[in-house]
């Protein structure tokens, strides 16, 4: 396991570096294994990064027909809801990728009344598509972090932090008074690479704590084969 922080001057530079790293990871995975297993993040970061991926030159640099898209977490809303991470990804990225097939995109069924059953269904789909013995391995999981140190929907003080067996769970988040569906540490930490993308001065305290070596915050406990943090100067406390 390795962890590296790259401090960039502003959110635009972070977005460009994120897009470039995603393309590089995808090309490497396709060259080595014939496909790219990618976990997408939610939040606002994709709104800056995805437009860079759907236009030349980057859109031509990756064979998008060989990408399998999964999600790190989802809100308990229908897939066409403005708050849906899937809907955000569709409008900013998926609808614009050449020759993309519906079966390449695996959204979390978080609108189901029984969200736990939806989580089990998603874990089964992840195992079916990715395959392999033991825990399915993502080539790249793209993650963000909140000011409270949460990542995906692994929020401080919530039950999903202690999950050791299941790969996808329903997680009640009291601070939001809401259910979320999220990947868990067993699958996050099995990934070949995790890429955190973090902007803003409100994240500076959390970033500083993680850089100091503290593992108290949920994001600090993600330790994939390689963990890359792309952080703007404000979040790094150097602006």
Q: Could you write out the DSSP letters of every residue in the chain?
A: -EEEEEEESSHHHHHHHHHHHHHHHHHHHHHHHSSEEEEE--SSHHHHHHHHHSSTTGGGTS-GGGEEEEESEEESS-TTSTT-HHHHHHHHTGGGSTT--GGGB----TTSSSHHHHHHHHHHHHHHHH--SSS---SEEEE---TTS-BTTB-TT-GGGG--S-SEEEEEETTTTEEEEEE-HHHHTTSSEEEEEE-SGGGHHHHHHHHTT---SGGGG---SEEEEEEEHHHHT--
Residue range 46-75, pLDDT digits in tens:
999 999 999 999 999 999 999 999 999 999
Q: In the chain, what are the domains?
A: 2-236 (3.40.50.1360)
pTM above 0.95, yes or no: yes
Residue 216: per-residue pLDDT: 97
Residue 239 has pLDDT above 80, yes or no: no
**pLDDT band at 2; cut points 50, 70, 90:** confident
Residue range 131-164, pLDDT digits in tens:
878 999 999 999 999 999 999 999 999 999 999 9
């Amino acid at each position: 396991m390795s962890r590296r922080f790259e401090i960039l001057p502003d959110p635009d530079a972070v977005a460009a570096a994120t897009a470039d790293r995603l393309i590089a990871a995808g090309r490497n995975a396709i060259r080595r294994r014939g496909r790219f297993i990618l976990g997408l993040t939610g939040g606002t970061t994709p709104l800056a990064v995805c437009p860079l991926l759907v236009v030349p030159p980057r859109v031509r640099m990756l064979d998008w027909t060989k990408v399998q898209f999964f999600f790190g977490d989802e809100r308990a809303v229908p897939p066409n809801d403005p708050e849906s991470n899937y809907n955000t990804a569709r409008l900013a990225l998926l609808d614009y990728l050449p020759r993309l097939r519906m079966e390449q995109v695996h959204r979390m069924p978080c609108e189901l009344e029984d969200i736990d059953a939806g989580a089990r269904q998603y874990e089964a789909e992840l195992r079916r598509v990715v395959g392999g013995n033991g825990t399915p391995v993502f080539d790249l999981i793209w993650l963000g972090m909140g000011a409270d140190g949460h990542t995906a929907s692994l929020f401080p003080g919530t039950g999903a932090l202690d999950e050791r067996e299941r790969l996808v769970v329903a997680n009640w988040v009291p601070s939001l008074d809401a259910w979320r569906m999220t990947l868990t540490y067993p699958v996050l930490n099995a990934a070949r690479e995790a890429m955190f993308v973090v902007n803003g001065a409100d994240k500076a305290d959390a970033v500083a704590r993680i850089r100091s070596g503290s593992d108290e915050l949920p994001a600090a406990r993600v330790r994939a084969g390689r963990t890359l943090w792309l952080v703007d100067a404000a979040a790094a406390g150097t602006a």
